[in-house]
Amino acid sequence: MSLPSLRLTASLAALGAATVVLSAPATPAKADEGMWTFDNFPIATVNEKYGTNLDQAWLDRVRNAAVRLQGCSASLVSGEGLILTNHHCVVSCVQDLSDAQNDYVKNGWMPATREEEKKCPGQTAEILTDITDVTDRVTAAGAGLEGAAFVRARAAEIDKIQKEVCGDDQKLTCQVISLYRGGQYKLYKFRKYEDVRLVFAPEFQAAFFGGDPDNFNFPRYALDAAFLRAYEDGKPVSTPNHLTWNPNAPKEGDVTFVAGNPGSTSRLLTMAQLEVLRDQQLPITLIQTSELRGRLLEYATTSEEAKRVSVDPIFGLENSFKVYYGQQGALTDPAFMAKKRAEEQELRQRVAADPALAQRIGDPWAELERAAAAQRDLYLPYRQLESGPRSQLYSYAKAIVRAAKERAKPAAERRAGYSEADIAALGRRLAQDAPISDDIEKIQMSFWLSKTREYLTVDNPSVKALLGKESPEQIAERTVEGTRLADPAFRAEALAMTPEQLAASGDPMIQFVLANDDAAQAVRTQWEAAVSGPTSRAAEKIAQARFAVYGTNLYPDATFSLRLSYGQVKGWTYRGVTVEPFTYIGGLYERNTGAEPFNAAEDWLAAEGKVNKSTVYDFVSTNDIIGGNSGSPVINAKGEVIGAAFDGNIHSLGGSFGYDGELNRTVTVSTAAITEALRNVYNQPRLLRELGVRR
Amino acid sequence: MSLPSLRLTASLAALGAATVVLSAPATPAKADEGMWTFDNFPIATVNEKYGTNLDQAWLDRVRNAAVRLQGCSASLVSGEGLILTNHHCVVSCVQDLSDAQNDYVKNGWMPATREEEKKCPGQTAEILTDITDVTDRVTAAGAGLEGAAFVRARAAEIDKIQKEVCGDDQKLTCQVISLYRGGQYKLYKFRKYEDVRLVFAPEFQAAFFGGDPDNFNFPRYALDAAFLRAYEDGKPVSTPNHLTWNPNAPKEGDVTFVAGNPGSTSRLLTMAQLEVLRDQQLPITLIQTSELRGRLLEYATTSEEAKRVSVDPIFGLENSFKVYYGQQGALTDPAFMAKKRAEEQELRQRVAADPALAQRIGDPWAELERAAAAQRDLYLPYRQLESGPRSQLYSYAKAIVRAAKERAKPAAERRAGYSEADIAALGRRLAQDAPISDDIEKIQMSFWLSKTREYLTVDNPSVKALLGKESPEQIAERTVEGTRLADPAFRAEALAMTPEQLAASGDPMIQFVLANDDAAQAVRTQWEAAVSGPTSRAAEKIAQARFAVYGTNLYPDATFSLRLSYGQVKGWTYRGVTVEPFTYIGGLYERNTGAEPFNAAEDWLAAEGKVNKSTVYDFVSTNDIIGGNSGSPVINAKGEVIGAAFDGNIHSLGGSFGYDGELNRTVTVSTAAITEALRNVYNQPRLLRELGVRR
């Protein structure tokens, strides 16, 4: 049930869920900057710069073929629901379908017939069909109200809008998205498919050749591609609006488009906010991620089975680590910070120079400094007590406990995210069956408890309550061994219980969460009052200032909703070293050492005599992307798919805070390489036929 | 053979050995600030502030009883060579004396007779006997010279001075110490004892109750004390100049002195230097320490024996981690940095206001900015390639390889640290026999190799040369399994070999080091040219500026040589929470949960009915100390020992960069508690008699 690990995860929300993200318009875009919405794409600019002939019909075709997965992006590439995405977007599914006897992560998933395609637990596929402006309704709902009443009225109106259009139809998703930090509210309506099956996944070692050392680097030799298929009523979905598969690689300088769902950017944080990130949140996140990484890496050496079940958690952790490390790299780069400081200074001066504007805006920068100071004090308790461990069982218990508590309140008083519909959706998620490793659960639990004690200290009352007379290891052992939450049937049962029934359930994980939930929620309340609430209000003011000063021809910060970026195939130069934009299949064999993670996959070794070594393998382009874009189709001027974006270079990670056209690059596996692999490595005539290429 | 882990390690040199430390005079001292040399102690100030009657004789008595250990401090406490220090200063020795059958770390070391006291491998005890000013000789030696000739001439003169006074006498140590950043050079002459035996060590769980969670925190309930004894010619040394053991605890407000060897402070780094520390060195050190910590913690769970051999490495690592974390806390505290910035600004303004001074000083701040920029580029290769892994076997190989290379050169061209005398001393260190864990060696090697690949990237030529076609794990396995360096006899043999003989030796660890040593030394040369050389020159200029502006009544930065600090027994208040200065033995039983690391030691549980619970256990005082002070005697106005300093509070770690009298505290285990433990927990009449207290 866990989200696929995003190679391109840049979600600041993952920083212990405690980061305050400002979604706000960026400075007027230069170079190939921008993650544009489909209803505000700079068609004229692009046609002029790249000599293309884009029009609304082109945009509509692309939009109708773009697919949103959990935490990833994808595209329809045949008329029968075939979906191209990254291998790393489906690796959780491959692991879920595997067991100690059949390790499809290691060996690949390549059923010979459509009948053998298997459902990925919890996976959905969503296609954006309509965008409607609902700004007026949302803002009117809050007019004249303050504080909690204001928040509740707006949330209720948003809920109402979503219900009006989608009702309880499980085939639809309606989501009101706040863009430009509340400058706009748009209803995004999606066609949703809940039966998504795994069609093809290469061996992990082919998809992730070079492993963590090569991750976010280039040159690369990774077949990070996989195919899913959308089903409905047990049959493949008919999808006439799909992208045409072009099996030829682009040339240097060719224009490229990336359609996908960038998760989160924070390009408009103030200096006070960036400094708290740099000084506290990122360092602590990097430190904790590193220790956990060390624990899991060492655990993975203890047996073959330990190694197998650790693949996905370690991949996710190492990927996150590198994202945070890249972000920290930007925030500790004196030149980068000087540029951010100059931008802030300019905006503040232009506001100050306009008395009417200054009057309307006030001093949100000072408010954010106060919020940042509060954040320094509250971050550790918030992170440790409220965000909790990366334990799946603990997450189940927490979701169930909180749902029970909220359900006990009248609907109008519940916290956001606990409407009846939300709880029903939770029930569907809890019903998904996926294997759980008790060993890893125990590591996650004991690690979290020991860090909570370390960072909050032994004498902190919440820590005392959490641990009692037990060690972190004892609690981990007792709660993981004793809980029934690994069983979906029990989860369903528990979700129907009242808090009192949960307390009496005798389940040690549920009881552990129950006993400490008040303290966790109390920290959340403090955090909302002193940090996230004031930050949100101040950010809205800064967004207004930017609209007033720079106009509205801007793109909004990423919100894990569909965007289009443009760019071109191009390498880069850094500290005197020039990196070429293409790698070729032959390079894989040169880089192969035979030692993990630089051991070429067995099927590739076997195919060395057959495969065309001059085929373009991976390539880089200037497109502006971020975590969540993984699996995005890379599209040429004709609207054909020429690859699947799967990574950024290390510089692109600073893209969370700003785009640098000289250095930031998208990394893509070419359709040319995928085609060659299906033909001469994996012998998949069935798929080649469906993609419409020569077998 | 490894240095004892310093609970109070603040040695910036440990930051991958790549930190540039400025030893320079601090701003005129306020409050109880200062780690004073014995020949410049502010007697009058202290007598006035605390109503004491200190005089030169008092200082001499204390100096003659103060002992320097490897990385730690200690004191003579009987006429028969008995030495009081911390348990954590001898834990490596206790581990060396243990094996799978006899775990003295776990059970304590408590021989019934003097005959059973055993030698601690490699441990020496040094007592400072004379301080002589040799500034004129050292500076005259370099007069009129430049660059390498200047460095070599000074080093030769220092070597000559040391030889003149100590010759080859193994019972003496002569060390010319640069104080005030070359403002003074003093010859410190020590009486040295090379046969130091373990007399008494409590169970690890008594010494380190509360473990890492309580480390650098207070309240504490730790008996971090142990006894050694100096021997010569097989007999205990007669030591009439010892401190009198006072078995009574001090009261709040009582004056306290700490005599010991603070290792290293950096109170005069410029903002440019502090920012590189904050942005790069400390974050990367914290990250790497954390991952290694995770690996060792998980390894320790795999068997009882794994747990046993991991105790000391994990302790050392967690202790270092917290030191760096505390330092990072100071450097990311906006108020602390603002204060440092203001101090720098003041000095620069006062220099600028004096044209003659400005002319003489130049602009060392700008030079340090350039060095800091170079450091950002060079730090990672320097750290990874030159500093190497924490593997004991690798360190042996590196020392042997470098000695062979330098020995092949004429004496005048050798690098510092490779005189015949230095190589002879190396031979004595290599002869010490201490057990080595192959498992931990492999973890250290593979960890270091994987981080080197990660941080420098796969395509770096040095990384390619280091790894070849192997994985980090394969190299670790091959070099650790194949080497003979665990055998002291082979180390002696190897130390006598030429580089060609080493190459032909067939030893895989030696060959591995040999193959990569040129690249490592090349990075060192770059580093010295662009970072450490220019930094050293600029720092000397800044030190001159400080002398000119603030005069010479200052204390020098710590240099792991004997210092005296003064203060008083006092708690502190932070963020509204007041911490009392004392804990009592009864508190141990209240804090005991039975679960590691809060499980009271067995002997203490057994003694609960007998022990006096109202005895003061640990206490805090305002003394200004830092890593290296571990084991220092805490002394009252009469010159009696009342405790052994073993820790600082978390705020004291910022003491690397500046002392804050409101918050920085020394943590001490009282002689009252040690006496009570010897009497009613461990039943040690032999020791009580020797200490002159009632049995």
- Specify burial of residue B545 (Cβ count, 10 A radius: 0-12, 13-18, 19+): buried
- State how far the Cα of B65 lies from the Cα of B129, in Å rounded to an integer: 10
Q: What is the 3-state secondary structure (H, E, C) of B648-676?
A: ECHHHHHHHCCCCCCCCCEEEEEHHHHHH
Q: How far apart are CA A601 and CA A105, in angstroms?
A: 12
Q: Answer left, alpha or beta for residue A628, where phi above 0 means left and psi between -120 and 50 means alpha.
A: left
Å from B593 to nearest chain A CA?
5
CATH number of A12-124+194-267+557-691: 2.40.10.120
Cβ <8 Å between A290 and B295? no
Cβ of A288 and B290 within 8 Å? yes
Please tell me whether residue A2 adopts helix, strand or coil conformation.
coil
Nearest by CB to residue A469, choosing from B279, B298, B593, is B593
The answer to whether the Cβ–Cβ distance between A595 and B459 falls below 8 Å is: no
Pair B642, B249: CB distance under 8 Å: yes
Instruction: For residue A323, list chain B residues with Cβ-Cβ distance below 8 A.
Output: none
Instruction: Note the pLDDT tens digit of each residue in B641-653.
Output: 999 999 999 889 9
Nearest C-alpha in B relative to A288: B290
Cβ within 8 Å, pair A469-B294? no
Go through A437-458 and write b for each residue having 16 or more CB atoms within 10 A of its CB, e for each that does not.
Answer: bebbbbbbbbbbbbbbbbbbeb
Q: If you average pLDDT over residues A300-305, what whole number do you get?
A: 96
**How do strand B195-200 and strand A118-119 relate by DSSP bridges?**
unpaired
- Residues of chain A positioned with their CB less than 8 A from the CB of B217: 457-459
Q: Which of B86, B45, B82, B203 is nearest to B566 (CA)?
A: B45
ipTM of the complex: 0.88
A470 and B593 within 8 Å at the Cβ level: the answer is yes
| Residue B623 CA: distances (Å) to CA of A130, B264, B486 | 69, 16, 42
Handedness of CA B456, B458, B459, B463 (dihedral sign): positive
The helix/strand/coil state of B317 is helix
Contact B458/A283, CB-based, under 8 Å?
no
State residue A149's pLDDT score: 76
In chain B, what residues touch A474 (CB-CB under 8 Å)? 595
What integer pLDDT is reported at residue B695 of this predicted model? 63
Residues from chain B contacting residue A297 (CB–CB below 8 Å): 291, 294-295
Query: What CA–CA distance (Å, rounded) separates B323 from A686?
Result: 60
Return the residue matching tokens 């005697």. Answer: B633
**Chain A neighbors of B214, CB-CB under 8 A:** 458
Contacts of B596 in chain A (CB under 8 A): 471
Q: ω before B355 within 30° of 0 (cis)?
A: no
Residues sharing a CB contact under 8 Å with residue A44, sequence separation 6 or more, in sequence order? none
- Which chain A residues are closer than 8 Å to B457 by Cβ? 213, 217
Using CA atoms, how far apart are residues B411 and B173, in angstroms rounded to an integer?
22
Q: How far is A273 from chain B (nearest CA, A)?
A: 13
Banded pLDDT at A266 (limits 50, 70, 90):
confident
Give the nearest partner residue to B458 out of A214, A295, A298, using CB atoms: A214
* Interface contact flag, A458 B213, Cβ < 8 Å: yes
The DSSP result for A189-215, as a single string, is EEEEE-EEEEEEB--HHHHTTTHHHHT
Write down the pLDDT at residue B6.
Answer: 39
Beta strand B641-648 with B666-670: parallel, antiparallel or unpaired?
antiparallel
CA–CA dist B631, B624 (Å, integer): 14
Partners of A299 on chain B (C-beta within 8 Å) are 298
Is residue A31's pLDDT more than 90?
no
- How many residue contacts between A and B have a Cβ separation below 8 Å? 115
Contact A283 B328 (CB under 8 A): yes
Q: For residue A343, give the H/E element and its range.
A: helix A334-352
Taking alpha carbons only, the member of A184, A181, A173 closest to residue A67 is A173
Q: A62-102, pLDDT tens digit by residue?
A: 999 999 999 999 999 999 999 999 999 999 999 999 988 99
* B561 vs B68: CA distance, rounded Å: 8
| Beta-carbon separation of A453 and B291 below 8 A | no
* Closest CA–CA distance from residue A454 to any residue of chain B (Å): 5
A280/B219 Cβ within 8 A: no
How confident is residue B406, by pLDDT bands cut at 50, 70 and 90? very high
Q: CA nearest B178: which of B170, B189, B188, B169?
A: B188
CB contact under 8 A, B217 and A458: yes
Residues of chain A with CATH 2.40.10.120: 12-124+194-267+557-691
Read off the pLDDT of residues B429-473 as tens digits, 9 standing for 90 and up: 999 888 899 999 999 999 999 999 999 999 999 999 999 999 999
Mean pLDDT to the nearest integer, A409-429: 87
Contact A593 B377 (CB under 8 A): no
Q: How many residues would you count in chain B? A: 695
Nearest to A213 among B217, B288, B458 (CB): B458
B512 to chain A, closest Cα gap in Å: 18
Beta-carbon separation of A290 and B294 below 8 A? yes
Chain B residue numbers with beta carbons less than 8 Å from the beta carbon of A377 are 575
Cβ B588 vs Cβ B221: under 8 Å: yes
Which candidate from B279, B286, B470 shows the least CB-CB separation from A287?
Answer: B286
Give the pLDDT mean for A461-472.
95
Q: Which residue blocks in A91-134 are alpha helix, DSSP H?
A: 91-97, 104-107
Alpha carbons A181 and A201: distance in angstroms, whole number? 39
Question: Around Cβ A688, how many Cβ atoms within 10 Å?
Answer: 18
Q: Are B25 and B554 in contact (CB under 8 A)?
A: yes
Which carries the bigger pLDDT value, residue B358 or residue A551? B358
C-alpha separations of B266 from A256, B11, B350, B666 in Å: 52, 9, 22, 18
Over residues A114-136, the pLDDT tens digits come to 999 999 998 999 999 999 999 99
Helices assigned H by DSSP within A20-146:
43-50, 56-65, 91-97, 104-107, 135-142
Instruction: Indicate yes or no: CB of A210 within 8 angstroms of CB of B288.
Output: no
B328 contacts on A by Cβ (under 8 Å): 283
Residue of A nearest to B218 (CA): A459
Contact check, Cβ <8 Å, B283/A279: no
Q: How many residues does chain A have?
A: 695
A299 contacts B297? CB cut-off 8 A: no
Q: Which of A3-17, B68-82, B552-566 has the highest mean pLDDT?
A: B68-82
Task: Kindly indicate the confidence band of residue B14, based on its pLDDT and cuts at 50, 70 and 90.
Answer: very low
Element (H or E) spanning B620, and its range?
Answer: strand B616-621
On chain B, the residues whose CB falls within 8 A of the CB of A219 are 459
User: Would the pLDDT of B11 be above 70?
Assistant: no
A168-190 average pLDDT score: 90
| φ and ψ of A140, to 5 deg | -60, -35
The three-class DSSP label of residue B186 is strand
Closest Cβ opposite residue A294 in set B293, B377, B474: B293
Task: Compute the distance between CA of residue B666 and CA of residue B647 in angstroms, rounded to an integer.
Answer: 6
- Tell me if B513 sits within 8 A of B398, measured CB to CB: yes
Instruction: Determine the Cα–Cα distance for residues A236 and A80; give it in Å rounded to an integer.
Output: 6
